[in-house]
Amino acid sequence: MGFFDKINEVRRKISEVENNIYHGKEDYLEIYERNIQLEQEIEERTKELNIANKRMLSLQSILDMMNSAKPLRNVLETVVNNIQGELGYLHSTIMRKEIDVDGEYFVVVAEADDITIKRADGILKTPIQARRLAYTKESIFYNSIENRHLIKSKDIGASLKAIMPDISEEELNNILSDKSVKSIITIPLHVLEKPFGIFAVFSSREDLAESETDFLNMYAQQIELAITIAELFEKVKEQAVTDGLTGLYNRRYFEEYLKKEVTRSLRINQPFSIIGLDLDFLKKINDTYGHSYGDIAIKTIAEVLKTNARSIDTAARMGGEEFNVILPGVTSEGAMIAAERIRKAIESVELDTIGHITASVGVATFLEHSDNIEDILELTDQAMYMSKRNGRNRVTLAKPMSETSWQELAVSAFLDILNKKKIPLSEEFKNDLSSKLLASTPQSEVLYSVADLLTQTYNDMHMQGGVKLKVLAAVSLAKRFDLSKEEIDNLKIAMLLYDIGNLLIPQEIFKKKGPLTPEDKKYIYEHPVIAVREILNPISYIQDVIPIIEAHHENWDGTGYPAKLSHENIPMASQIILIVDAFFALTEQRSYRDKLSPKEALEIIKQDAGVKWNKTLVDEFVALIENELK
């Protein structure tokens, strides 16, 4: 090969190398550009995933709300605040559609806490949340809810002007000077197929992507479900603390609220009063016109209380025809004026068929009559009953606790029983009970507790608090038969002491699972006599209570014990003890049987109407318990 041939060969090889390098460069450039494009796509997808994740978190927050029992307002506030910021929304709000005598309107029920709304409220004389917003056909809010579809508008000014027609041009221009809000989006909310209102978001973007529309519609659906559940919770909660017949608070709520009021009163050393009312002649109304008219009379009392009570007062139906009203910060003098106003208002109402109704009213004041709330409730009750005994349709102010003696008598009786060593209890236990009784001025709660502890010595299945429930039921029943205050006081003492003879009965009898022998039955039948002869007779100041306890196992048809008394020969208080004791015994666990439900126990009691108990007594007792079970 010649010289030039060699040079040409080298050139050819160089050219091949250059071509290879060039094509390799193109390949490298192509790979490089593809990598850049891929990185951009990854970045865009990451952003989309972040947005989707934020949207999912927002939806999850609503789901979390559904699993809570938070009030509706709290749920809605959480909803509007969770869609803010990073999703590009500057503000969000929920407006509820309302209607009154002046027509339909919107009201803001929740709004996000952000700079946008704070700025707008600062410009307006009246904040948006405090306004009655117009429900006009010109607004996108109206069209959105009426047509049930999402609407986006860039005309922020027209949207605001439509719901706030009274806004001045200066105020509107000042609000619109904030150019960050580019559009407003309205999404209708319907709950159980009924219009609820509007979910509105103020966006920093003019455009609305299809994915965003889908998200907002989905978000609105979750809001609707959250509202449904929250309203259901509120309804259930309301039913739990309100009386179904009258709409007033029930006994449960009253007792819880009363505890708070006592704490507040003691903290600031300010008295409060309780007004107790009892509808007169309810039994006569029921017997004459029927129970539906009795319900009308009860509801009338409730309406009078709603009308005459202050916004800070708490009125409650305590059961049957009894009502209580708490008057915070009111002395006995002011409470008497309020009670008389209520009494007159009740008397002035004339009902179809029934005519006029009346109520007996009692008043007691915490820190004036006593600093123990159980005493105040007792005094209110006694004053109310005194009004009934003195002719009804009147108001009576309670006497100070120092003038009320049934608790003192009961405490002294317990101390006598414990100190005379006639019951087989350890000295340590008796000393402990005596210390409880002497620790403070006589009060019902201590008495109930001591009676519970004594009962548990021979019945280990007895629940603490059972004696109080029995006493309250017995007293409520006694009032239905117009027993006097003295008779009711004796009944309360008898309810604490009637089974005291059981302390002298051998324990093996109480715990026996098989049938009782004749000897066992003899012990049981004699326990009222034992209680009286061995334990209570020596206590001179409770002699009026002894006949009640002696006869508390006598049956209406004369088959009871120990004296085989029948019908009216049995003291009413004894009959009451027998039926109350039987009911609570049936609903307590026993070694030989399971406890019954209240309804099952009532069925058994009904079966013995006219045999063990006066039929009228059974009817009133069943009505009393069924009312408490509502």
Q: How many whole angstroms separate alpha carbon 184 and alpha carbon 90?
A: 10
Q: How many whole angstroms separate alpha carbon 527 and alpha carbon 521?
A: 10
CB 363 within 8 A of CB 274: yes
CB 340 within 8 A of CB 280: no
CB 97 within 8 A of CB 132: no
Tell me the CA distances in angstroms from 489 to 72, 88, 170, 427, 550, one per residue in order.
47, 72, 74, 30, 17
With CA atoms as reference, report the closest residue to 109 among 199, 217, 228: 199
Start-to-end CA distance of the chain, whole Å, equals 120
DSSP annotation of 478 reads H
Query: How do 314-319 and 322-328 pair as beta strands?
Result: antiparallel
Q: Catalytic site residue 321?
A: yes
Tell me the CA distances in angstroms from 338 to 62, 158, 209, 320, one per residue in order.
47, 52, 64, 23
CB 398 within 8 A of CB 527: no
With CA atoms as reference, report the closest residue to 436 among 425, 452, 421, 422: 452
Helix (H) or strand (E) holding 317: strand 314-319
Residues 594, 595, 600, 601, CA torsion sign: positive
Active-site residue among 77, 212, 224, 321?
321
What secondary structure, in 3-state letters, does 253-288 show?
A: HHHHHHHHHHHHHHHHCCCEEEEEEEECCHHHHHHH
Tell me the CA distances in angstroms from 553 to 369, 562, 570, one per residue in order.
38, 7, 10
Q: How many whole angstroms separate alpha carbon 230 and alpha carbon 244?
A: 20
Token couple for 318: 């305590």
CB 551 within 8 A of CB 581: no
CB 90 within 8 A of CB 98: no
Please give the positions annotated as active site.
Answer: 321
